[in-house]
Structure 1
Amino acid sequence: MKIGISEEVVRTVRIRIEDRLDAFSAQELRTHFDELFEQGVTNYVIDLSATPFMDSAGMAVLVSAMKRARQAGGDVALVWPDADAVKRILKLTHFDRVFTMLDA
């Protein structure tokens, strides 16, 4: 009798952003993503529940991470923000249709 057993462990990293995600902080987040991708991480949950503000630079980092993750067979999900301004931006730009959106 031949039995083949294999196990695949999928690692998901949760990143909670508790400050503004803007042109000043976006590069720091991009650096963290670069390090995690180098370690082979391809699945992410980005928790925006405590993010009070996000601009186009922050959004660009999220799109870039999503593209990289999907190319590697993973994905990026976003946790809905509590801040109405950030929630509005996600809806206006249709991020809520492109990303998997999770409740906090």
Structure 2
Amino acid sequence: MKITTTDQVTRSTTLALEGRLDALSAPSLRDALDGVFAGGVHQILIDLAAVDFVDSAGLAALVHAMKAARTEGGDVELVRPRSDDAFRVFELTKFDAVFRIHEAS
């Protein structure tokens, strides 16, 4: 999985993910998010538009990020995966109601 981080002056960050968000790549996402949190940023947009697969480990990494951000008064929002297969896991687990999810542009 490829992770691209974009820092903004508003103390928010966008992480754009590409590929699979699964048990193999979730630790990399968690490491990237820990670096963002260490920098004092707690408002995060995770762009999943280019993600083609998400499993339970990927969901766990996203929930971990959301809890960590909210603890510090921030939040995590998502950009919907273009792949319906990747988004289906959010619908099946009802996480589409937990996260604020924006349509991909």
TM-score (norm 1): 0.88
Deviation at 1:42, TM superposition (A): 0.1
1:1-104 superposed matches below 5 A: 10-104=10-104
Post-superposition, which runs of at least 4 consecutive aligned residues in structure 1 deviate over 3 A? none
RMSD value, Cα: 1.0
Q: What is the alpha-carbon distance in structure 2 between the residues aligned to residue 58 and residue 12 of structure 1?
A: 22
SS class of match (2:52): coil
TM-score (norm 2): 0.87
Based on CA coordinates, which of the two structures has the bigger radius of gyration? 1
> Identity of paired residues, percent?
50
Which segments of 5 or more consecutive residues in structure 1 lack a partner in the other structure? 1-8
SS class of match (1:96): coil
How many residues align structurally? 96
Query: 1 or 2, which has the higher strand percentage?
Result: 2
Deviation at 1:10, TM superposition (A): 4.0
Which segments of 5 or more consecutive residues in structure 2 lack a partner in the other structure? 1-8
